[in-house]
Chain A
């Protein structure tokens, strides 16, 4: 079985943040865009920034943290979050230095 793809945040240190209540405003200098993220969204970014992770590992950690009533709905929502974050250029597949592309 092939290793699962790992995801990371390519420019976490460059992102600017403002946080109010459960919302985070995020400015990405690379795109010039401003995004608004809920608590799950910013937690996903924080975890991927601290350590590149597979979707499976990420989902397990988030299920423990948020303990949702409906795990299936939560995981579907997580997939949507990841697709959006990828589309916005906020996350990307992790490629360790020197690994074959």
Chain B
């Protein structure tokens, strides 16, 4: 309830389409009493080996990701966080460890609308992005860093020593949930790169390079074939692309706010010769 308390529930009597039927049953046998486990069932599939009962919530969240990543091929799926401000969407693609979830959570607490911390779902018919706000998982040192940035944020319990280290989830803002049915129009693609040096800066990226980075970041670009190429092409044509180097959340959020406010410096907009 702490993390999903604000989510709307479906009314069983109303006509509706259910995409997934999920279960978290406990296997029978000795495991029920000795080092108890739980299993993730999705429709008729059991995609993962059972896992410790006290890690049920993070595994449930990863299971939801698996459902979307394996089934939502109607959309071009980017592995990215997606946030919106002033009616314009910033896509933050990134590999694990790039800091995209932490930055996404920080932007959300600074007033950006959360569309997703994990999936950039692009509709092929019009290029808009679906909202899929869910609790944002933070890992290891990102947990205290985010707490220091947003002391008022609601975080769930810390799950120690999961397969991804210590994990805690941030509750989505109410505004993000109220606007879940509103798609967003992409305006910026920002590749976050956590940097150990004190380099907090936005670097513009040439469109050809951005195309390759975005297509390589997609879960299903190759599955989509020509439709994927067209979708990425339209996305790149309609967006400015950047790489964001950061090592602290405050300056990173400040840079993103300047981007949303059309207040970038000249050197943050110029693509260098070396970048083309």
* Interface size range of chain A in the complex: 10 to 19
Within the complex, the shortest CB–CB distance from A23 to chain B, in Å, comes to: 4
Nearest-CB residue, chain B, relative to A23: B208
Please, how many angstroms separate the alpha-carbon atoms of A29 and B206 in the complex?
25
Which listed segment binds A: B74-82, B115-123, B229-237?
Answer: B229-237
Nearest-CB residue, chain B, relative to A22: B276
Please judge, given known A-B contacts A21-B276, A23-B276, whether A34 and B207 are in contact too, CB under 8 Å: no
Is B274 an interface position by the 8 A CB rule? no
Please judge, given known A-B contacts A18-B233, A34-B215, whether A29 and B226 are in contact too, CB under 8 Å: yes
Please, how many angstroms separate the alpha-carbon atoms of A34 and B226 in the complex?
10
Q: Do A25 and B211 have beta carbons less than 8 Å apart?
A: yes
Q: Which residues of A contact B225 (CB under 8 A)?
A: 29, 32
- Residue of B208, B215, B226, B237 near A16 (CB, 8 A) is B226
Q: What total of chain B residues lie within 8 Å of the partner, measured CB to CB?
A: 15
Please judge, given known A-B contacts A20-B208, A25-B208, A25-B233, whether A32 and B276 are in contact too, CB under 8 Å: no
Q: Which residues of A contact B226 (CB under 8 A)?
A: 16, 27, 29
Please, how many angstroms separate the alpha-carbon atoms of A23 and B206 in the complex?
10
Nearest-CB residue, chain A, relative to B234: A18
Within the complex, the shortest CB–CB distance from A40 to chain B, in Å, comes to: 15
Q: Which of A31-63 contact B (CB under 8 A)?
A: 32, 34, 36
Within the complex, the shortest CB–CB distance from A13 to chain B, in Å, comes to: 13
Is B222 an interface position by the 8 A CB rule? yes
Is B212 an interface position by the 8 A CB rule? yes
Q: Which of A6-24 contact B (CB under 8 A)?
A: 16, 18, 20-23
Within the complex, the shortest CB–CB distance from A6 to chain B, in Å, comes to: 29
Q: Do A16 and B222 have beta carbons less than 8 Å apart?
A: no
- A-B contact sample (11 more), CB < 8 A, given A25-B208, A27-B229, A36-B211: A16-B230, A18-B211, A18-B233, A20-B207, A20-B236, A23-B206, A23-B208, A25-B212, A27-B226, A34-B215, A36-B208
Of the A-B pairs whose beta carbons lie under 8 Å apart in the complex, a sample of 10, sorted by A's number, is A18-B211, A18-B229, A18-B236, A21-B208, A23-B206, A23-B276, A25-B212, A25-B229, A27-B229, A34-B215
